[in-house]
Amino acid sequence: MTDAVGSIDMPDAQDEEKKPRKGGKRAKKGPLKRLALFYRQIVAELRKVVWPTRSQLTTYTTVVIIFVVVMIGLVTLIDFGLDEAAGWVFG
């Protein structure tokens, strides 16, 4: 019995002969050529990056430093408060 695709006994996937893979393009290049290609691709991607201006970089750096100082203060206050609470509870 057959259908529009092929025989029930022999599916289409088994009709074609499979060729063994030989590794594609990577197998043909040596390790140094692959490393050189990798670094060329890195440089090409870095050229696509939109780098911030000096004023943007200064603004971002200032915001990060202020945020870190605020978080240090918050953690210090919580630590001091918990220390005092533990001293009061455990005496």
* pLDDT 10s digits, 33-78: 999 999 999 999 999 999 999 999 999 999 999 999 999 999 999 9
Q: pLDDT tens for residues 17-38?
A: 666 666 555 557 788 999 999 9
Confidence (pTM) = 0.51
Cα–Cα distance between 58 and 88 in angstroms, integer? 45
Both tokens of 11, joined, read 């599916």
Look over the chain and give the mean of its residue pLDDT values, rounded to a whole number. Answer: 84
What is the C-alpha separation between 79 and 85, in angstroms, rounded? 10
